Chain A
Amino acid sequence: MLAYIARRLMLMIPTLVGITLLVFMLLALSPGGIGAGLRVSGGQMEASKAALMEAYLEDRYGLDDPIIVQYTRWLGRISPIKFGVRDQVLPTGALVRYPKAIQPTPLEDSWFAETLVPADRLVEIRDDYGVRDGRSVMTRGDDSPEVAEYKAAAKAYSKTRADYLVARKELDKQLVRLAAAEGWSDAVDKGKPVHRRFAGREPDRSSPEWAEVEAAAIAALDAKAVAEAARAREAAAFEVGPYPEDGIAIVPGMLSLAWPDLGTAFSRGRPVKDLILTALPVTLLLNAVTVPIIYLIAIPAGMLAARYRGSWFDVSSGALFVAFWSIPTVWAGVLAIGYLADKQYLGWFPVSGLHANDADGMSFLPSFVEGPDGTSTFSAGYLLDTLWHLALPVACLVYTGFAVLAKQTRAAMLDNFNQDYVRTAKAKGVPARVVLMRHVFRNSLLPLITMFVTIFPAMLAGSVIVEKIFSIPGMGSLILEAINLRDRELILANTFMIAVVNLLALLLADVLYAFADPRISYD
């Protein structure tokens, strides 16, 4: 059994990689690609400024890298086994990484291989940017000199990197102009130069466009040297170790163990872990209330239907189960809001959300509150208020599960009624009720146990609709928002979590089934 479990767990890893890769690839295909939610602003900025902003954001979040590179980078952060230099942990809990590598200048190894930054300029750069001092940033009083130096170095690096980005964009612009002048129509794709097409050709070195290109190239190489110096400074400051290191080293400098890092959601600017930790309890609450209710109603109903098979109760409840099963969740939710929640009709329930506006100030249990004029008014209290808000969403989630489970119970019990041991028990004179409860019901529990572990992941996804209709800020809303904004970290983290929960639930179902039914073994 243990070998079976271990084998299944090992096999989960390629499945998880496959799932996240599939979802990531699908999103990369979408118009706008990953990070489409970032490129929103635009309207009030000049076109060139908007392009620069976009380029800066792409650079910052690594969105201009190829899709596979982005994915493997995310895989590296998710895996507990980390390669390379260990990250360091800020006091806030966020992670700082080794400074990012600098991208090469366009055509630096073909046209501009001979163009070098003059030696005296290099000395000048090193003097300006290699100096360690804590001057240029605001530091807190209790920051150590290493921390102050790291902060200054990081700020300098990000500024010089942005300058280098601007210089590269300028070079690209001049290259496009050159291509237009030379008539190289295939070297430009949607306004951006395709560098390898430039590399093979010889430009006309006497044209004015070439002079512009050369000037831009020199400026870009200079900016690159500056950025490299700033990077060296930040790397040096990082290696000194201003902050405590993350995880445990296995092979120092190469291999280490650390908690998976879910990253930062760039559409919201908050760590994904925080977002999930806020949304998950809401969904769990919804499911924790729904699942017991489903089981409490469905099992007795199924048992009664099986016991009185063929009676009016069985036939009518059978029809009712099919009808419940066929009601779309969206319709039930819309009808519930329209007739039960909206003030136009009955208005008994709240329309949206999980808590009333003043929920924070309420006491937990219902109580009487002293009013200003001495009369005491009834205040529902946090508990009752939450239950009141939960009533409609839970009702919408319950009826589907109830129909399926009741039918399964009835089918399982009917299956067992025809078995030999039931006939033997009846022949022995065991009372009908004992036969039902002690023999038939126990054997019918097996599919119900396995259904329990498969219902949970279904609820996680099924609540997407209910959470959207009732505006409940749970995992479902988070997922929908992540998909709409194409936020890479959020979507991947959510997919990963859902997949892990589903696979673990499937494994648990198989293991439980082996425990409950001794006839089944996996060896």
Chain B
Amino acid sequence: MSQSASNPTGTISGIDVMRGVGAKPSKPFWADAWDRVVKRWGARIGLAWIAVVAFFAVLAPVTATGLPVWTVETVDGEVVRSWSPMWEGLHSVDVALLVGLVVGVPWMVLPPGLVGLTRSHRLGVLIAASIQCGISILVAGVIGDWLTDPEQSEGIRTFATERTAIVPWLAGIVAAVVGAVVMVPFTTFKSRIARIVLIVLVASISTVIAADRFDPPLSNYDRYIDRELAGRYENTWAIVPWSPSQARTSFYTLEPGTTVEAEIPATEGTFFGERRFLLGTDSVGQDVLSQMMHACRLSISIGLISTGISVLIGIIVGSLMGYFGGAVDLVLSRVVEIFMAIPVLFLLIVAAAVLPRNTYMMMAIIGCVSWTLPARFIRAEFLKLRAQDFVQAARAAGLPLRSVLFKHMLPNGLTPVLVQASFSIAAAILAEATLSYLGLGPDGQASWGKLLSSASTATGTFNWWLAIFPGLAIFLTVLAYNLLGEAFRDAIDPKLRKAAH
């Protein structure tokens, strides 16, 4: 479009506007909303803190571990071998997250000119790939647990323990197949070949990771410490040289900044004696800073996955209620009422007290309890959409039910649910913290709530570092998601956009 010669000063007349001068191409709805969100200071603060938590969630096993990053074994001054105990001790989930970080960040950050895809498309591909990888690794872990379960029948156990070369690969391949099957309906790329290539690529990566990390060795932290004290090893330690589960009886409830030599006088002057507990220790002697860094992963994963589960269940139930109405609505409304009438915390406590205590069970519990809110939103939207022309047209054209529901109606009705999603993540994190405080959290996993519970002891002493730091972490994370949700809501809701400024 050339500028009209009649306005050299640059002002645009009405005729120019009619010709389209000065008009910018409109952005898609979500891209536009995201731009508006990022402009707000609340959203920026929230995103910054979430980025910090995510950083530690991915890199915690590398930055806070009791295993040395690099060990060199010397016999009589000669280097015999050198290896990385930290790398060998990583679990499959840790490795997968690191791979995701190394691959994902350049994938997203590279300018669109280099890779021919828009940022949002790349984000979608990344999310799909990570879901597939996550499912595969989870399934591989479940298979591993099932094979080595003490109550398993003899034949399977001997098969698992003897064929150590084949079994991990078998488990990895089975898990990769499961993940691939789940990914088939997702349209990550327009061309089928590209989709298949992506699925196969992610499947092979997850197989390699699962097979390699099928049975990571148990970590023996004291061995490295003792051997360095004896002079046999030369270790390079991580930034925070403590693992979250590493404990000794002499380290019970130490104040922040205590050195090891203050508790174990025999180590005075050595590298071990000079180590500090930057944020103190808890009542069983585990370092607080390391636990807090590892707990970042629990928070983010529980927040995202629980909300994902609750939105999924809510969409299914809500769409059925909203689309069919009548008897289906009546019966399902009773089910929704059942879950609404029991206070969420009560049901969580009952479920957590009853079911096995691991992270995945907790995610499932929180997700299965808070699905009523998305269901109600979706139902309201579908009731409105049911009478719209395009839905009538889709039905008249004879499209199958799932196509009408999920391809036509759902994209139009999803907005309130997505606006609420950020608040749901905050609520899930709060719920997990409360359950961990009550002692009903996942076993063997560091958690902010669990640290908080040892702050005021039965004898009446108040350990301030166990109250302030974990509590602050919970508070800031929940605040970040709430701020993000508020910014989202203000950016998307047109009514509020007029009223607020």
Contacts and interface: CB of A to CB of B under 8 A. Distances in A.
A19 B499 contact: no
A30 B353 contact: yes
A380 B342 CA distance: 40
Contacts, number: 136
B499 A344 contact: no
A464 B479 contact: no
A18 interface: yes
A342 B455 CA distance: 12
B456 A19 contact: no
Nearest to B479: A326
Contacts of A26: 350-351, 354
Contact of B338 (A18, A30, A461): A18
Contact of A495 (B342, B345, B355): B342
Interface stretch (B9-17, B213-221, B314-322, B470-478): B470-478
A468 B354 CA distance: 19
A335 B499 contact: no
Interface string A1-32: 00000000001001100110011001101100
Interface in B347-361: 347, 349-351, 353-355
B433 interface: yes
B475 A327 contact: yes
Nearest to B499: A414
B438 interface: yes
B345 A462 contact: yes
B449 interface: yes
A19 B342 contact: yes
B368 to A, nearest CB: 11
A457 interface: yes
Interface string B420-457: 00000010001001100110000000000100100110
Interface in B307-354: 334-335, 337-338, 340-347, 349-351, 353-354
A330 interface: yes
A309 B471 CA distance: 32
A14 B334 contact: yes
A328 B478 contact: yes
Contacts of A343: 460
Contact of A18 (B334, B343, B482): B334
Nearest to B436: A330
Contacts of A27: 350, 354
Contacts of A458: 343
Nearest to A27: B354
Taking chain B's interface residues, is the majority helix, strand, or loop, or is none over half, making it mixed?
helix
A53 interface: no
Interface stretch (A166-174, A268-276, A431-439, A496-504): A496-504
B483 interface: yes
Contact of B354 (A29, A334, A495): A29
Contacts of B42: 319, 322
B471 A461 contact: no
Interface stretch (A66-74, A82-90, A196-204, A479-487): A479-487
Given A18-B338, A29-B355, A328-B474, A464 B346 contact: yes
B456 A322 contact: no
Interface in A488-523: 491, 495, 498-499, 502-503, 506
B498 interface: yes
A14 B330 CA distance: 12
A339 B456 CA distance: 11
B192 interface: no
A498 B434 contact: no
B501 interface: yes
A329 B456 CA distance: 15
A316 to B, nearest CB: 13
Interface string A292-308: 00000000000000000
Nearest to A19: B338
Contact of A337 (B337, B462, B479): B462
B337 A342 contact: no
B467 A334 contact: yes
A351 B434 CA distance: 20
A38 interface: no
Interface string A456-482: 011011101100100000000001100
Contacts of B475: 326-328, 331
Contacts of A483: 349-350, 353
A462 B350 CA distance: 15
B334 A498 contact: no
Given A337-B456, A344-B461, A461 B346 contact: yes
Nearest to A407: B486
- Tell me which of A338, A415, A462 has the highest count of chain B C-beta atoms within 10 A of its own C-beta: A338
A34 to B, nearest CB: 11
14 contacts: A15-B337, A18-B334, A18-B335, A22-B338, A26-B354, A29-B355, A323-B479, A326-B475, A328-B475, A338-B464, A457-B343, A461-B345, A465-B434, A498-B342
The list of the 8 closest CB pairs from A to B, nearest first, reads A461-B343, A331-B471, A30-B354, A338-B462, A326-B479, A326-B478, A502-B341, A18-B338
Given A330-B437, A484-B353, 19 more contacts: A22-B342, A29-B354, A30-B355, A322-B482, A326-B478, A326-B479, A328-B474, A330-B449, A330-B471, A334-B456, A339-B462, A343-B460, A418-B499, A458-B343, A498-B346, A499-B341, A502-B341, A502-B343, A506-B340
